[in-house]
């Protein structure tokens, strides 16, 4: 039984026995205190004990029960009459010793409870600074087997000498020990077996609600703790059943209370808006500036003047005359019809503009006409009266100076909007979004003049001056995860997804956890209420506190720099929500947060489109053949509607897991389709969103948890990598808007755990992951492909979202620069990619600056080299040259400098990677097939470019741009030069083959290579270098004569009629029979070494299976996913 009263003690003895029993208990308590404080320096406690001794023999034996009850009240936390009670009953105790007397009396009352003579009230407070005395008194009962539950509960206290060996953390022990001791002393729970399911139900009822008497006592955890300590096998299942039933009842009660709370909150907000309106109406200043200052924040304007259907008037219009209210209602009805006609999915900007319009037409125009005319005779009642040129867009100062109106004109609606924008320090983009709906509304009224009464004279007087000046941005301002740690971030996300799945499996009763090193499968009640699992689940929401790794049956890891690393810190980033599972409403970890973050990193698709993926159709076009890439149907897109994206197998597997998780929910609502974005008659129709939750739509996204996930990464960067150059990813929100954000000073786990999740913020938003994905993809694919097949963006938008990092060049600089130039050369020349051109220039400037400051460091950092370095005696120069002097075996040649061009080659040709003309490139007869294939490739490109030039020349001279034509001619000459060079090299290699020099290698500057390798003592390549021979004929690509000849060739080809491709020998010759072409192809494959004679025989004799096996072995081309990764 638990004391039903929180203030009155329950005496288990007769009233006439209360006084003597209390006297004996006080005598025992005084003796215990005297043993410790009865010394010369006993202090205040000794003074109290001496004053009690002066009260006589057995001074408390004659006290009545009501008088002892008054002493019980003196042990409460706050008792205003305590001094008077002590003065009346114990006159020998000085007022300044009442605190010490209270401790002695508390020990006495605990003595009475042990003797089973009293059950104390819940408000009774435990003694403080008496740990030794209390522990000694309880220890005396342990050998007797008396009150074992009291000893067990007291042992939880970290300051108790009784000791505790359970799994509860130190923090949880500190939070629970005192409250649980009060619960035990407020009941007859001398043993755990005395606890019943009714006791648990009573605790639940008395702890429900924010102001309940047991709201802070952790009663559910107490019930589980006592049930585990009991020997009754039936008790634990009974407690679990009570807690489950209570959970369902609690949810129903909360639902009813939520409606009441919403109504109360709405009424409170309505009263606040009425008071603000009254403040403006009764004030002396009725300008639009004062109106903006009165309501302050924009959201207050929305609350004060948003007229909702079938509801009472908003607070901003309640005090106004009916004429004003009728006009505002007419505007609202027409504006809502305008929004419906536009079929706008997210009408937030339009609704905000409507609120501004109503605020202007309501309080402001009302007071304007009353102040000017003393009446509302001229107040507008129709749209013809509400002249756009006067009330919305007029120049107030100009009208006043010209004196064109008989009466003073009002300030305009645009002026009111400007005041609000300036007051709230909003951007020009936001200002623009508040203005353009008004012009659209005026145009709508004009177009519907035949339907809307008295609107035939409405005119649109908006001009460019009505809008703020916008700054055109060539790139996004969104920030993403630093590229150096993006792979680590992805690895963390994968591990964190498994963690959330692991927790949900624990809630299902399918996964073990660890309790004091032993495996244990918890149920959902234990996860929610037991302190054993508070570090993983608990009743609290998201927090910066680190999860309890000791309760997991595995060690979470992630990969950094290709090596596994153990998580040292994971904040409780996940949310816990109610889900219909196994026939009832149960708590589970929300999977949206982590999976949406993963998908944004993997796909670059906008978050809302991912949230609204159609469960029934997202894999309509998927093949499920185990391929690295598959088709993902995106049902919604604000730009072009439904479309198909190319996604990796990882993405499709993740969506499959989410689909299975969705199907587990048995709620009837989850079986039904809903309108997209809850907008009735949406153009996207009805669907079942894959990431639907039993929460408000605004809670489906991952904004709440994303900053905590970033905090996990930031902790790793700051404490384990110790990267001091990397700026912090997260910081603390400022207390006021004008304050600067605060840095996190303490990155220890203890320091981070003290932070609250709602003050952690970051510039890196989930939408920034979209920019990160685009920035990576654009390095390998053209913007058109990225937008069409990966992110669903237009080509300009892909360029807008691409972010280039000039600090991240390293070994990939050459590849990135070459790819960017080759795939976007036309757009760079025409200025379509200013960010890309600026980034390339920045990278080159950075390399040049490093070379000027310190050539040695620059050469090492950027892998630059020069043949002259080998001539110096400096050991560093020799090491640098030796590092890059390695043979690189390419399909068309062998590079003696590991594909890193020496400065002499760059100076000769003005560019890198001009391998066809390089005098240091080593070639042999084995390279002949690849050179021939590349020659044909450039011939095809030459043919294509000639056709483009020919088509361009068909334009009128006035429609041609000289720079474009020159650019196309330069590109054509480059293709011709490459084809000529490769054909010359091909002829030289054929001559070597005819002379029987199949094992020799040809190079132009043979002596320089040999001297360079000999100087560096690179003997391991000596065998190959001995095979070098001087080339007989090598073209000079840098000569002006060759340039003139190529230009002449271009003009000659342009003058020819017929198929240029056929002329160049790369077109399809239909006169050659098909079997002849196949025979030539097989012959070429055998000569190039792609297959040998035995494999050809196997194909001929082995049938279809042998041919398939050979095709599988030959499929070695890199896949798209490998390039993107």
6: burial class by Cβ within 10 Å (0-12, 13-18, 19+)?
Answer: middle
pLDDT of res. 738: 59
891 and 1029 in a single domain? The answer is yes
pLDDT tens, position by position, 891-936 = 888 888 778 777 667 667 666 677 888 888 888 888 888 888 888 8
pLDDT of res. 796: 72
Residues in the chain: 1125
pLDDT tens, position by position, 426-455 = 889 899 999 999 999 999 999 999 899 999
Q: What is the C-alpha to C-alpha distance for residues 836 and 407, in angstroms, rounded to an integer?
A: 58
Q: Is residue 825 part of a domain?
A: no
pLDDT tens, position by position, 741-796 = 788 989 999 999 888 888 888 888 887 787 777 777 776 677 777 776 677 777 67
Q: Is residue 217 part of a domain?
A: no
Number of separate helices (H) and strands (E) present in the chain: 46, 21
Could you give the angle at which helices 219-229 and 197-207 cross, rounded to 10 degrees? 160
Q: Which residues touch 136 (CB under 8 Å, ≥6 apart)?
A: 32
455 and 311 in a single domain? The answer is yes
Radius of gyration of the chain (CA): 42
Task: Tabulate helix, strand, coil % of the chain (nearest 5).
Answer: 55, 5, 35
Residue that is last in its domain, among 433, 466, 499: 466
DSSP reduced 3-state for 515: strand
Q: What is the C-alpha to C-alpha distance for residues 605 and 721, in angstroms, rounded to an integer?
A: 31
pLDDT tens, position by position, 475-524 = 666 777 887 888 899 999 999 999 999 999 999 999 999 988 889 999 88
561 and 442 in a single domain? The answer is no
pLDDT of res. 860: 56
Q: Is residue 629 part of a domain?
A: yes
Q: Is residue 886 over pLDDT 80?
A: no
381 and 490 in a single domain? The answer is no
Please indicate whether residue 590 or residue 992 has the higher confidence score (pLDDT).
590
Task: State the DSSP code for 369.
Answer: H
304 and 345 in a single domain? The answer is yes
* Number of domains into which the chain is organized: 5
Q: Is residue 242 part of a domain?
A: no
Task: State the DSSP code for 742.
Answer: B
Q: Give the distance from CA 441 to its chain's centroid.
A: 37
1064 and 1078 in a single domain? The answer is no
566 phi and psi, to 5 degrees?
A: -90, 140
Residue that is last in its domain, among 730, 761, 792: 761
Instruction: Give Cα separations from 78 to 67, 74, 75, 122 (angstroms).
Output: 18, 8, 8, 13
Q: Which residues of 1059-1096 are buried (b: 16+ CB within 10 A; e: fewer)?
A: ebbeebebeeeeeeeeeeeeeeeeeebeeeeebeeebe
Residue that is last in its domain, among 190, 213, 243: 190
732 beta partners:
742, 760
491 and 444 in a single domain? The answer is no
985 and 1004 in a single domain? The answer is yes
CB atoms closer than 10 angstroms to residue 72: 21
pLDDT of res. 840: 60
Q: Which residues touch 243 (CB under 8 Å, ≥6 apart)?
A: 200, 204, 220, 223, 224, 525, 528, 529
Q: Is residue 261 over pLDDT 70?
A: no
Query: In the Cβ-directed half-sphere of 344, how many Cα atoms lie within 13 Å?
Result: 16
pLDDT tens, position by position, 703-723 = 889 999 999 999 999 999 998
Spell out the alpha helix ranges (H) of 90-190. 98-114, 131-139, 148-156, 170-185
Q: Is residue 810 part of a domain?
A: no
Q: Is residue 99 part of a domain?
A: yes
Copy the structure tokens of residue 377. Answer: 């005779």
Q: What is the C-alpha to C-alpha distance for residues 584 and 447, in angstroms, rounded to an integer?
A: 54
Q: Is residue 207 part of a domain?
A: no
1036 and 1093 in a single domain? The answer is no
Q: With cut-offs at 50, 70 and 90, classify the pLDDT of residue 556.
A: very high
Q: What is the C-alpha to C-alpha distance for residues 759 and 741, in angstroms, rounded to an integer?
A: 10
Copy the structure tokens of residue 621. Answer: 């076009």
pLDDT tens, position by position, 345-382 = 778 889 999 999 999 999 999 999 999 998 999 999 99
462 and 513 in a single domain? The answer is no
Task: Please check whether residue 560 is in contact with residue 490, taking contact to mean a CB–CB distance below 8 angstroms.
Answer: no
Q: Which residues touch 712 (CB under 8 Å, ≥6 apart)?
A: 492, 496, 567, 569, 570, 571, 573
Q: Which residues of 915-944 are buried (b: 16+ CB within 10 A; e: fewer)?
A: bbbbbbbbbbbebbbbbbebbbebbbbbbe
Domain, as residue range, for 126: 10-190
Q: What is the C-alpha to C-alpha distance for residues 549 and 527, in angstroms, rounded to an integer?
A: 15
555 and 703 in a single domain? The answer is yes
Q: Is residue 708 part of a domain?
A: yes
347 and 368 in a single domain? The answer is yes
């Amino acid at each position: 039984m638990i004391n039903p009263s929180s203030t009155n003690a329950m005496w288990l003895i007769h009233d006439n026995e209360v006084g003597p029993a209390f006297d004996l208990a006080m005598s025992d308590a005084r003796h215990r205190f005297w043993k410790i404080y009865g010394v010369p320096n006993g202090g205040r406690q000794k003074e109290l004990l001496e004053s009690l001794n002066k009260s006589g023999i057995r001074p408390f034996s004659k006290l009545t029960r009501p008088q002892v009850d008054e002493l019980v009240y003196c042990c409460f936390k706050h008792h205003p009459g305590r001094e008077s009670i002590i003065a009346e009953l114990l006159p020998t105790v000085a007022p300044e010793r009442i605190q010490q007397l209270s401790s002695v009396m508390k020990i006495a009352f605990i003595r009475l409870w042990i003797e089973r003579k009293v059950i104390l009230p819940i408000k009774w407070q435990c003694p403080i600074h008496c740990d030794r005395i209390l522990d000694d008194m309880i220890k005396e009962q342990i050998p007797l087997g008396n009150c074992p539950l009291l000893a067990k509960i007291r042992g939880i206290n970290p300051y108790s000498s009784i000791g505790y060996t359970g799994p509860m953390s130190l923090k949880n022990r500190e939070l629970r020990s005192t409250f649980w001791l009060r619960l035990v002393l407020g009941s007859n729970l001398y043993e755990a077996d005395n606890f019943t399911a009714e006791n648990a139900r009573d605790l639940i009822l008395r702890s429900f609600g924010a102001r309940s008497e047991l709201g802070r006592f952790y009663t559910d955890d107490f019930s589980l703790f006592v049930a585990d300590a009991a020997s009754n096998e039936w008790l634990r299942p009974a407690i679990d059943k009570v807690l489950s039933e209570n959970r369902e009842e609690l949810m129903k009660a909360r639902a009813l209370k939520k409606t009441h709370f919403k109504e109360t909150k709405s009424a409170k907000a309505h009263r606040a808006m009425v008071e603000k309106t009254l403040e403006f109406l009764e004030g002396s200043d009725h300008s639009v500036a004062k109106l903006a200052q009165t309501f302050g924040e924009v959201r207050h304007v929305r609350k004060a003047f948003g007229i909702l259907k079938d509801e009472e008037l908003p607070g901003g219009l309640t005090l106004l005359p009916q004429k004003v209210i009728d006009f505002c209602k007419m505007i609202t009805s027409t504006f809502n019809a305008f929004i419906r006609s536009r079929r706008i999915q997210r009408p937030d900007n339009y609704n905000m503009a409507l609120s501004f319009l109503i605020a202007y037409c309501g309080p402001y125009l009302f007071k304007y006409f009353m102040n000017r005319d003393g009446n509302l005779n001229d107040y507008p009642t129709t749209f013809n009266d509400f002249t756009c040129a006067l009330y919305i867009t007029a120049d107030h100062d100009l009208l006043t100076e010209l004196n064109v109106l008989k009466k003073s004109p009002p300030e305009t609606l645009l002026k009111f909007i400007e005041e609000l924008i300036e007051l709230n320090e909003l951007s020009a983009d936001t200002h623009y979004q508040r203005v353009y709906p008004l012009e659209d509304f005026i145009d709508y009224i004009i177009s519907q003049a035949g339907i809307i009464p008295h609107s035939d004279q409405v005119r649109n007087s908006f001009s460019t001056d009505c809008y703020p000046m916008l700054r055109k941005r060539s790139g996004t301002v969104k920030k993403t995860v630093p590229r150096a740690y993006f792979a680590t971030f992805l690895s963390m996300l994968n591990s964190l997804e498994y963690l959330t799945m692991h927790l949900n499996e624990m809630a299902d009763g399918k996964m073990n956890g660890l309790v004091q090193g032993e495996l244990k499968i918890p149920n959902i009640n234990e996860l929610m209420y037991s302190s054993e699992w508070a570090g993983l689940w608990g009743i609290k929401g998201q927090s910066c506190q680190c999860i309890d790794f000791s309760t997991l049956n595995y060690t979470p890891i992630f990969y950094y720099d290709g090596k596994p690393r153990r998580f040292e810190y994971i904040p409780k980033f996940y949310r816990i929500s109610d889900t219909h599972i196994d026939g009832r409403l149960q708590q589970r970890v929300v999977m949206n947060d982590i999976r949406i973050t993963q998908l944004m990193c993997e796909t670059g698709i906008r978050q809302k489109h991912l949230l609204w993926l159609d469960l029934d159709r997202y894999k309509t076009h998927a093949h499920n053949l185990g391929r690295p890439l598959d088709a993902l149907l995106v049902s919604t897109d604000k730009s072009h509607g439904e479309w198909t994206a190319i996604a990796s197998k990882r993405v499709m597997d993740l969506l499959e897991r989410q689909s299975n998780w969705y199907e587990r929910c048995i709620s009837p609502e989850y079986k039904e389709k809903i309108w997209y974005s809850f907008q009735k008659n949406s153009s996207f129709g009805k669907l079942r969103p894959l990431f639907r939750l039993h929460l408000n739509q605004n809670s489906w996204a991952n904004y709440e948890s994303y900053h905590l996930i970033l905090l996990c990464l930031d902790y790793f960067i700051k404490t384990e990598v110790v990267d001091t150059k990397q700026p912090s990813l997260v910081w603390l929100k400022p207390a006021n808007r004008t304050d600067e954000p605060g840095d996190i000073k303490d990155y220890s786990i203890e320091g981070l755990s003290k932070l609250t999740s709602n003050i952690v913020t970051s510039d890196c938003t989930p939408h920034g992951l979209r920019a990160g994905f685009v920035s990576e993809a654009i390095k390998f694919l053209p913007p058109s492909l990225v937008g069409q097949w990966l992110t669903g963006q237009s080509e300009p938008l892909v360029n807008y979202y691409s972010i280039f990092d000039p600090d991240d060049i390293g070994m990939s600089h050459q590849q990135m620069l070459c790819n960017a130039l080759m795939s976007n050369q036309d757009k760079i020349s025409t200025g379509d990619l200013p960010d890309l051109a600026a980034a390339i220039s920045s990278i080159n400037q950075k390399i040049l600056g490093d070379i000027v400051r310190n050539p040695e460091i620059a050469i090492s950092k950027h892998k630059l080299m020069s043949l002259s370095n080998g001539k110096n005696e400096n050991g560093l120069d020799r090491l640098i040259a030796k590092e890059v002097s390695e043979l690189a075996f390419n399909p068309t040649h062998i590079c003696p400098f590991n594909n890193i061009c020496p400065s002499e080659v760059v100076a000769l040709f003005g560019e890198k990677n001009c391998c066809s003309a390089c005098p240091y490139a080593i070639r042999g007869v084995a390279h002949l097939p690849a050179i021939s294939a590349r020659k044909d490739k450039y011939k095809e490109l030459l043919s294509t470019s000639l056709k483009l030039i020919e088509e361009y020349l068909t334009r009128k001279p006035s429609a041609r741009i000289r720079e474009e034509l020159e650019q196309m001619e330069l590109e054509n000459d480059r293709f011709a030069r490459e084809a000529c060079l490769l054909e010359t090299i091909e002829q030289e290699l054929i001559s070597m083959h005819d002379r029987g020099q199949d094992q020799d290698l040809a190079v132009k500057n043979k002596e320089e290579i040999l001297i360079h390798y000999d100087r560096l003592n690179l003997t391991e390549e000596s065998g190959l270098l001995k095979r070098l021979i001087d080339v007989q004929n090598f073209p000079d690509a840098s000569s002006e004569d060759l340039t003139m000849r190529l230009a002449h060739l271009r003009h000659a080809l342009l003058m020819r009629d017929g198929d240029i491709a056929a002329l160049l020998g790369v077109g399809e010759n239909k006169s050659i029979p098909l079997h002849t072409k196949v025979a030539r192809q097989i012959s070429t494959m055998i000569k190039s070494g792609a297959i040998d004679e035995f494999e050809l025989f196997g194909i001929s004799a082995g049938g279809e299976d042998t041919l398939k096996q050979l095709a599988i072995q030959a499929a070695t081309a890199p896949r798209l996913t490998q390039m993107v990764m």
